[in-house]
Chain A
């Protein structure tokens, strides 16, 4: 499954890029995606789910899906679909 991932601000500093199209395999949720990104960009998980703190404690993620308005992700178990655009900041 391919997703478009975008990064802004201090997150772009971590990834070294602002946009990429990634095969996330069988990832089903936002948390799965973050875990995969942590393998590529060490510390990614700790930014979005810091140890001892809640998900998105001082970060934000938005999800754009074909045919729908963009929404904020507040649930780490939010499902993802082929073609989704995720924006991490």
Chain B
């Protein structure tokens, strides 16, 4: 038997109403490990170019990995499907749903087909049923979770579900597991399949090959995250402020996308310290998360939105507030609550409204279009009503529910120029003109501007890296923010290493300090858990294989070098208020470097035949032969 993995996959056909248990091929475990990696091979094999995102044949895959259900897994789940734009759509959440799936005895769930009426999937070890969810349709995430718990009579059952945003096919809707959410766009596909929720209860455990060695390896990882001795300047601050730690820093550095990225900073922008002082009630971290601040209970105690409360995780949404010129925590937390209850993606909301505001200020959209809403930057009064309209797809909200990229196609009149998106997906606050490694990482992402695939973007102090550590880049050059030197090698390495880590899985937000560049502690714990005896080379090669498989998927869908770009504003316009020039030709220079190191064609960005062969991806080669000509 396999240690770590359960070795079983659950296949659910919503059209045929069938549920089949399958064995997870052992070859996949070695080649892709699990979670994101195995989701990739399933999607590649089963949702080809003839399948559209909203076809019944599209797959919606939930994946865990061999370390899921153990402390280092952090509860991470990868959710994957085909995006309406055709590329891979992948994301995930933490929390306790993933471990529960492992305890029930399954590594992956593959959803296919499409139900006529709403259903939810009930899993209690080997008791698995599709149940009617008509009475749950229209309920929000919290109501759905509560209703299912009461209905099945198991208060501790774990529920992953969509809200009204997913039901109404709002762009980039997410899947939620309490306040943990992920998979931008996966919630939309889940809504299209009329799958409201997956409720899981398990009574098993994860079998570890060498428990004593696992424990020693885990302690070694924990020691690196020690608040006092860590060499990572993020750990002390992050531990009590989470991502909000850098709010003021982004403003100072000119890294905010203020007013739809027309500016890099904002007067009186939100401050994380104010959030802690006035709104945070208590920490509420995820499954085995070592950072208490990463999840928090908040409450608005006074003002128009008094009584608004909820749980937030990781805090990145506060950076996006500057896109619309928002300076009020009250309003922001109300929007956060709406997003979390109704299953919306907060980045899509802010970047789409920011686009609409710029179009309004430039006269492309008028008061008639916006139904009287005065969409100027900083007008906080319009935001909450507009988000509510988007959820319900009412009036002007129906246009914005498509996301900025699609909405601009409808509006035309040059509005496309002001869209801040990559591969059809709105940005996630990461600066590109100020940090070149971010620009390259976002441009080459197979999943739109997903910042978790190459995280963490901030290196440890280069002086703290042991001199005998072999790295494929020069840390002193690579970590400088505004030159093109060593960026290709840094980004390649970040992508490959994060692909492995996300397949174990573990949380990339924990991959800090020396743990972010030293893979040996992760290899050690992987080998201890699974009983496999991977070498460092084999371990990192899994990551390279995953990245190439994902690239091949997108190539098969028609994506090429022309799609590895940053938004036009980043390429052509400076950040005037911080004297930062546009990216210009620097992106092309970095792309050349990156493709060369990957052995991808410089013109098309298609992986070379020899590279795919080296990675044991011969079957992919067969699909790409015609596309190379």
Contact = CB atoms under 8 A, between A and B. Distances in A.
B271 A18 contact: yes
A8 B233 contact: no
A77 interface: no
B378 interface: no
Interface in B248-271: 248-249, 252-254, 271
16 contacts: A8-B245, A8-B248, A8-B272, A8-B273, A9-B245, A54-B461, A57-B461, A57-B464, A58-B231, A58-B235, A64-B253, A69-B578, A85-B252, A87-B253, A89-B246, A89-B249
B434 interface: yes
A80 to B, nearest CB: 16
Interface residues of A, number: 24
A58 B232 contact: yes
A18 B464 contact: no
B567 interface: no
Contact of A58 (B233, B240, B247, B580): B233
B463 A9 contact: no
Given A56-B461, A67-B579, A70-B252, A12 B233 contact: no
A26 interface: no
A62 interface: yes
Contacts of A69: 254, 434, 482, 578-580
- Most chain B CB inside 10 Å of its own CB: which residue of A9, A60, A70, A74: A9
Given A10-B240, A59-B233, A89-B237, A54 B463 contact: yes
Top 10 closest pairs, chain A to chain B, by CB: A9-B237, A8-B248, A9-B245, A87-B252, A70-B253, A60-B233, A58-B233, A69-B580, A9-B241, A59-B233
Interface of B: 230-233, 235-237, 240-241, 245-249, 252-254, 271-273, 434, 461-464, 481-482, 513, 578-580
B242 to A, nearest CB: 10
A46 B481 CA distance: 27
B554 to A, nearest CB: 33
A67 B240 CA distance: 34
Contacts of A18: 248, 271, 273
Nearest to A67: B579
A68 interface: yes
A85 B464 CA distance: 26
Contacts of B579: 67-69
A8 to B, nearest CB: 5
Given A10-B237, A10-B240, A69-B254, A58 B272 contact: no
B231 A6 contact: no
Contacts of A11: 237
- Most chain B CB inside 10 Å of its own CB: which residue of A18, A69, A72: A69
A56 B578 CA distance: 24
Nearest to A9: B237
Contacts of A6: 248, 252
A10 B580 contact: no
Contacts of A56: 233, 461
Nearest to A70: B253
Nearest to A12: B273
Contacts of B233: 56, 58-60, 89
A10 B453 CA distance: 28
A87 B248 contact: yes
A6 B249 CA distance: 9
A49 B462 CA distance: 15
Nearest to B236: A10
Nearest to A87: B252
Contact of A70 (B240, B254, B461): B254
B271 A64 contact: no
B19 to A, nearest CB: 48
Given A69-B434, A89-B237, A57 B578 contact: no
B170 to A, nearest CB: 34
A11 B579 CA distance: 27
Contacts of B464: 54, 57
B236 A58 contact: yes
A89 B235 CA distance: 11
B567 to A, nearest CB: 20
